[in-house]
Structure 1
Amino acid sequence: MKTFSRIQEVTYRRPPRGYTMRGEAVPIALLPGKTVFMTLRSETHVDWLADAILAFDWSGKADEDKPVMPADRDAYDERRFSEIRISRRPNVIWQRDGNGGKIPPSSLGPPMLVYFDDIADPHTVRQVKPGEFDRYFGKGFDLVSIKVVGTDEDVNLTILNVLPWIATLQGDLERERTFGKPLSEIPPEQLLTASAFILDQKP
């Protein structure tokens, strides 16, 4: 079994309510010249990283599934952030058998994973879903789990060394080819922007 990781950071700010994120996609290089990237968003959650941290109760107890009224949102977020104590042990937020720890796959799920037929050409992007790794790496390869571990290490942004075209990317990966098409006809991976691969927001 191989493990791949990157340092990600979410900083809560008040007021105004909100957060900033710093981090980058995780390159999953299982074979020479073949890399899958675990992006910073999912198909339904643009801020997947922050959503994952907020949805997980770091004390190890299941977070109560209670509706939060808009008027109580600031107080709720304040409490959630003040209570977060990131554990130094691995915290499973998604795993292959469908048991996503304290986060059911139906509510959050894994972040989007993508592969480039030509890593130098962003237009060759294609989505790789868990369970499809054997298409690219051969029999026996698959994504087993995604875990978060607390750390004091600093964020080190190096993704531009692997995907240098991110620095000049304007709009989404298929902007020219998808212009004028209904969103329903555009594969979600083609709508990825640079923020799916690198975030360097200032608190």
Structure 2
Amino acid sequence: MKVVAGYRTALVLFLAVLALSSCTSETSWNQRLTLVIETPQGEVRGSAVTRVTKTETSGSLVLPEARGVRSKVEGEAVVVEVAPGKFLFALLSGSGEEKRDATHWVYPAYRLSEADSYGGEMMKLLSQPYDAPVPLPPEGWPMLVTFDDISKPETVRRVNPEDLVAVFGEGVRLKAVTLEITEEAVTVERVEGVLTWLGVYPEPGLCPATGGPLADAPFCRLVKMGDLIRRP
């Protein structure tokens, strides 16, 4: 019995040391991205609410590769009907630049990098007022895409935010991109309502693999369904 009691005591002490030597903290928020487009027929806009969760893991007993901050997003891309049957999408990810992904929009919008630590960044973010839009600087703008034929995913093409005229015609320009922290629920079903071909599994590209070097892959292969929609 003494051996068992001693084992249990040692186990409790080990677990206590483990708890003190490792730490996991989670921060979540909902954010609304809004695109405002100027057209010859008047101003149009679109917005979507996404939820971002960041999990920080640290501690001396945590493997080096497991330390750091992991991010995930739930929600869908912003969709704007710029003209009848012509849509613009602001993707959740896919540009190849982290600063343009949904999990990172808050950094340029609220200048979080000016804080002296990750904890300071999160404290600054969570102190922001709800439903108060701020400009999202161009360096943090998400990748924009459109479809030449909305029923065919392989017709996706990238849109230059500074040259919407090339895709949508004269008089069309991106007037504003804003971000705000909100308590509203994550947006659902808007993207599926437009892109009826979206699959359940979010990882495949928008067209089949062609083989060969990635650098030679068509753009439709580089855009993933998960860039348009992420569900829990």
Shared fold per TM-score greater than 0.5: yes
Note closer, same or farther for the CA distance 1:13–1:64 as it changes in structure 2 (3 Å cut).
Answer: closer
Number of aligned residue pairs: 175
Indicate whether 1:29 and 2:85 are aligned.
Answer: no
In 2, the alpha carbon distance for the partners of 1:82 and 1:18 equals 17
Aligned to 1:81: 122
In 2, the alpha carbon distance for the partners of 1:114 and 1:56 equals 22
Structure 2 spans left out of the alignment, 5+ residues: 1-42, 58-66
Whichever residue aligns with residue 194 of structure 1, its letter is M
Match of 2:70 among 7, 12, 18: 18
Note closer, same or farther for the CA distance 1:135–1:40 as it changes in structure 2 (3 Å cut).
Answer: same
Indicate whether 1:165 and 2:217 are aligned.
Answer: no
Larger % of helix: which?
A: 2
Deviation at 1:191, TM superposition (A): 0.5
Indicate whether 1:174 and 2:215 are aligned.
Answer: no
Deviation at 1:37, TM superposition (A): 0.9
User: For residues 40-91 of structure 1, what are the alpha-carbon distances to aligned partners after superposition, in whole Å with 9 as ceiling and x for unaligned?
Assistant: 125223571111123443xxx674387xxxxxxxxx3333223313333211
Aligned to 2:27: none
User: For residues 8-29 of structure 1, what are the alpha-carbon distances to aligned partners after superposition, in whole Å with 9 as ceiling and x for unaligned?
Assistant: 1112335474233112111110
Between the two proteins, what is the percent identity of the paired residues?
26
Note closer, same or farther for the CA distance 1:167–1:92 as it changes in structure 2 (3 Å cut).
Answer: same
Structure 1 spans left out of the alignment, 5+ residues: 67-75, 95-99
Q: Could you list the runs of 4 or more consecutive aligned residues of structure 1 that deviate by over 4 angstroms after TM superposition?
A: none
In 2, the alpha carbon distance for the partners of 1:53 and 1:199 equals 18
SS of 2:119 mapped into structure 1: helix
> Contact (CA 8 Å) 2:51, 2:73: kept in 1 or not?
yes
Deviation at 1:188, TM superposition (A): 4.6
Alignment of 1:2-151 (within 5 A): 2-15=44-57, 17-45=69-97, 48-57=101-110, 63-64=113-114, 76-84=117-125, 85-87=127-129, 88-94=131-137, 100=138, 105=139, 108=140, 110-151=141-182
Note closer, same or farther for the CA distance 1:44–1:86 as it changes in structure 2 (3 Å cut).
Answer: farther
Task: Name the Cα RMSD after superposition.
Answer: 2.6
SS of 2:198 mapped into structure 1: helix
> Contact (CA 8 Å) 1:43, 1:188: kept in 2 or not?
no
In 2, the alpha carbon distance for the partners of 1:65 and 1:11 equals 19
Tell me which moved more, 141-150 or 48-57.
48-57
Larger % of strand: which?
A: 2
In 1, the alpha carbon distance for the partners of 2:103 and 2:112 equals 18
Larger Rg, first or second structure (1 or 2): 2
In 2, the alpha carbon distance for the partners of 1:128 and 1:18 equals 29
More contact order relative to length (CA 8 Å, sep ≥ 6): 1
Deviation at 1:162, TM superposition (A): 1.5
